[in-house]
Structure 1
Amino acid sequence: MTTVFVRHEVSDYAAWRKVYDGLRSVQAENGVISEAVFQSADNPNDVTVTHEFATPEAAKAFMQLEELRSAMRTGGILGAPSVWLVEKA
């Protein structure tokens, strides 16, 4: 199992969340097994998202999708996100 963590700041959580929720079908069609969204306790616009995949290859392919890149541009993300992949030990 591969998990992708993405942490970024957004300009407006509610607006970002609408864009994120609009990607559910893209997630399902591209190997996302489960997902979760977390907000910092100190800053609701500091968001960490996790997506689980069966393989690292599926995770990497998902991260290259143009639909995902487009959503990140229109979702109000500020700066470059921090992204890392982990394998369940």
Structure 2
Amino acid sequence: MTTLFVRHEVFDYAAWRRVYDAFSPVQKANGVLAEAVYQAPDNPNDVTVTHEFATLEAAQAFGNLDELKTAMRNGGVQGTPTVWFANKA
């Protein structure tokens, strides 16, 4: 099991969340087994998202989707996200 972690700041969490929720069918179609969204306690626009995949390759492929990049832009992601992968121990 591989988890894709993405941390980024958004302009407006509520607007970002609408785009994120609408993206769910694309997540499922591209191997996302589970997902979660976290907000920093002191800044609700500081968002960390996790997506679980069966393999590292599936996680990397999802991270490279053009549709994902478009959704992030449409959701108001600021700057360059911090992205990392981890395997469940």
* Corresponding residue SS for 1:5: strand
Q: Deviations over 1:11-61 (max 9, x none)?
A: 000000000001100000000000000000000000000000000000001
- TM-fit CA distance, 1:80: 0.4
Partner Cα distance (1:52, 1:58) in 2: 9
Does structure 1 residue 84 correspond to structure 2 residue 64? no
Aligned residue type for 2:72: M
Q: TM-score, normalised by structure 2?
A: 0.98
Distance 1:8 1:20 in 2: 13
Q: Which residue of 2 aligns with 1:7?
A: 7
Partners of 1:65 and 1:47 in 2: how far apart?
Answer: 20
SS of aligned partner of 2:14: helix
AA aligned opposite 2:24: R
Residue in 1 aligned with 2:51? 51
**Fraction of identical pairs, as percent:** 67
Q: Distance in 1 between matches of 2:74 and 2:23?
A: 12
**Stretches (4+) displaced over 2 A:** none
Aligned-CA RMSD value: 0.4
Pick the structure with more strand per residue: 2
Please give the alpha-carbon distance, in whole angstroms, between the structure 2 residues aligned to 1:73 and 1:81: 11
Equivalent residues, number: 89
TM-score scaled to structure 1, two decimals? 0.98
- Where does structure 2 lack aligned partners over 5 or more consecutive residues? none
User: Shift in Å at residue 66 of structure 1?
Assistant: 1.1
